[in-house]
Structure 1
Amino acid sequence: MPTLPTVPHEIRTPRLLLRRPDPADAEALCAAVQASLPELQPWMIWAQTPLDLIATRDNLQDVTAKFDARENLRYHVWRVPEQAGVPPELIGSSGYHALDWRVPKGEIGYWIATAHAGQGYATEVTHALTELALNPAASGGLGFRRLEIRCDPANHRSARIPPALEYTLDAHLVNDTVAANDPSQLRDTLIFSRTRS
């Protein structure tokens, strides 16, 4: 097993705080998911049967353990208000999935709550995660050699992000999967990547 890099529990961007999940986030996470189900369900399998508060809290304990073991590096996305004294608001989730530390490589996934969509937050998050992942470990990064983003081409908002961040379209897989909300419908998958030599 290769030596694994130090993974930060927090990442700050100009407007956001990406933070390692905590079971205490359960109520805020449930609220963001419930308010966004119509937009999440066409693309996310997990959104078909969203977890209740107790199950979310239990799930976050598992997510936290996997983060600490570097098996799956999920971050909750918090919007940091400009006004002093106003608490951050959980507006989505992102992180590194499908990790293979032998390469090393991973895949970025993301979703932003409906009330905050269209404001560039997903791009801001993905840019920060891309920079951290592809920076060498000696420079404080994760030292990834390959980073992927996969999405349905019909998910236009999601599909616009990788090219904007200089990802290359590696493949358009036809009839690669089924629709998250209708398994009778076949869907395509776009695979984008950035690599470091």
Structure 2
Amino acid sequence: MKGVTLSGDRVTLSMPDESDVELVTEYCRDPDVQRWTTVPSPYERTDALHFILDVVPAGWVTGSMATWAIRREPADELRGMIGLNGIAEGAAEIGYWLAAPSRGRGLMTAAVELVCDHAFAPAAQGGLGLRRIEWHAFTGNLPSAAVARGAGFRFEGTRRLGGVRRGERLDDWSAALLRDDPRAPAPGWPSETFA
């Protein structure tokens, strides 16, 4: 699998590169990114270098992971990250985070739409040909739930101690979007997933 740039009206998604190391380091030290993701803690510049220079390219080469930097336009600075992990047998898990100054502007919603469009598009059209995209978030991550819900993900339940953050088991929420699902908020999300 070869890295691909995705462009829409609101965001451009491209492979992160070495010029993004300082911002990745800064943003991954944000308390919310630390709380809701599995990035190392404390987060060091060497972690960002390893992620950008080793993990991201290896994921594209093996076809097991596709990771993009979120930018407003191609030459813009990094605003966040989004990716598909565990790509296999027609499915993958979506994950994302956004820098604090860029939150609440619809950038992540636009990024998720682009990634889902690419993931579900047939391989003959340059897509990944997936049939299912899973979403997981530690319970209480209301902003992530709002993005997934808005993108049409269907809530599938709360997994007791279903997630692991730096060696600690935590409850997490689970939802999924199938290729033929409508891209509109679906009923069935429990009240605790709403702000």
TM-score (norm 1): 0.80
Distance 1:99 1:122 in 2: 21
Equivalent runs, 1:107-186 vs 2, <5 Å: 107-177=93-163, 180=165, 183=168
Query: What is the number of residues matched between the two proteins?
Result: 179
Report how far residue 138 of structure 1 moved: 2.6
Distance 1:58 1:190 in 2: 29
Report how far residue 39 of structure 1 moved: 1.5
Equivalent runs, 1:48-87 vs 2, <5 Å: 48-52=41-45, 54-62=46-54, 63-80=56-73, 87=75
Distance 2:162 2:94 in 1: 19
Q: Conserved in 1, the CA contact under 8 Å of 2:3 and 2:66?
A: no
Larger Rg belongs to: 1
Report how far residue 47 of structure 1 moved: 4.5
- Alignment partner of 1:99 is 2:87: yes
Unaligned runs of 5+ in 2: 181-195
Q: Conserved in 2, the CA contact under 8 Å of 1:76 and 1:90?
A: yes
- What does the per-residue CA deviation read over 1:119-141, in whole Å, with 9 as the maximum and x for residues that have no partner? 11111111111111112223332
* RMSD between superposed Cα atoms in Å: 2.3
For the residue of structure 2 that corresponds to 1:48, the secondary structure is: coil
- What does the per-residue CA deviation read over 1:145-168, in whole Å, with 9 as the maximum and x for residues that have no partner? 111111123000101122211111
Unaligned runs of 5+ in 1: 1-5, 82-86
Q: Which amino acid aligns with 1:194?
A: L
For the residue of structure 2 that corresponds to 1:46, the secondary structure is: coil
